[in-house]
């Protein structure tokens, strides 16, 4: 089956999740990947959204963390303070799945402003719970489209701390969790290099060249010694992902789902 780069990104991100994971889910691409994993190879994954919904199983992709679909299909809904203090700060969440407007070579994410903080060119939605997710989940995965506008030499503002300036910067600040261990884009997979913690390309998606990755990265991107090729989507993965999007479109248009 033919597939788009967006579908490849969502499917590649979903594959990173395991059935036993407890995952703090961001809205948008992270939510798409996490729910695809739940509908395919990880049916027992525990999905948690910032609004306090625990083990939610939405039939459609939520518009926001306040979408009633999340609370209606959750095992339980707790208060936001309880969710952050007991679940997140208590070390009970294995994966935080985030997106953003910018990311740099050390996995720092910006979702606050483009330009200076005092006089921004664009003011973005902001961090919400993302700063805490980035520092207190066992590890974080990031999913976002790759271009020179999004993959920048240095983010304009650090909303979610990755590895700071690289090396042991994270540890020097007393952050004990692993940080961003995987970045999934529409072109490739990136992982932090041991020691430096600089993001390097470890897998290229099908039909993507190294030159394309270089042209769409705002720093001199490096490649791992061994670069693999991401397996293409299966027919089953594509069918389930497309059905999820069709159901979401139908529901958001006000039509009754079958």
Give the Å distances, CA to CA, from 244 to 128, 200, 210, 235.
26, 32, 32, 14
Q: Which residue in 50, 69, 198, 237 is the catalytic one?
A: 50
Please report, for residues 43, 46, 47, 200, 246, the alpha-carbon distance to residue 197 in angstroms, rounded to integers and kept in the order given: 32, 28, 28, 9, 39
Nearest CA-CA partner of 69 in 57, 77, 80:
57
DSSP state for residue 160 in the 8-state scheme: B
**Is 50 labeled as catalytic in the residue annotation?**
yes
Q: Three-state DSSP class for 216?
A: coil
Strands 76-77 and 95-98: unpaired
**Rounded Cα gap, residues 256 and 250, in angstroms:** 7
3-state secondary structure of 6: helix
Active site residues: 50
């Amino acid at each position: 089956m033919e597939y788009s780069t967006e579908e490849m990104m969502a499917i590649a991100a979903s594959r990173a999740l395991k059935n036993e994971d407890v995952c703090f889910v961001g809205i948008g691409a992270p939510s798409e990947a996490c729910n695809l994993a739940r509908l395919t190879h990880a049916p027992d994954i525990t999905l948690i959204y910032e609004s306090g919904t625990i083990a939610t199983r939405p039939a459609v992709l939520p518009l926001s963390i306040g979408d009633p679909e999340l609370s209606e299909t959750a095992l339980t809904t707790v208060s936001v303070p309880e969710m952050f203090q007991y679940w997140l700060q208590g070390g009970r969440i294995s994966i935080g799945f985030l997106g953003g407007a910018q990311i740099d070579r050390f996995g720092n994410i910006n979702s606050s402003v483009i330009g200076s903080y005092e006089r921004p060119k664009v003011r973005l939605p902001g961090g919400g719970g993302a700063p805490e997710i980035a520092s207190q989940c066992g590890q974080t995965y990031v999913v976002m489209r790759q271009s020179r506008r999004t993959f920048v030499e240095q983010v304009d503002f650090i909303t979610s701390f990755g590895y700071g300036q690289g090396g042991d910067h994270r540890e020097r600040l007393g952050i004990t969790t692993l940080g961003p261990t995987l970045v999934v884009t529409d072109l490739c997979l990136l992982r932090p290099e041991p020691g430096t913690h600089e993001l390097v390309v470890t897998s290229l998606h099908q039909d993507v060249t190294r030159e394309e990755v270089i042209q769409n990265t705002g720093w001199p991107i490096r490649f791992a010694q061994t670069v693999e090729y991401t397996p293409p989507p299966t027919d089953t993965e594509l069918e389930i992902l497309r059905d999820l999007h069709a159901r979401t479109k139908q529901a958001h248009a006000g039509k009754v789902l079958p």
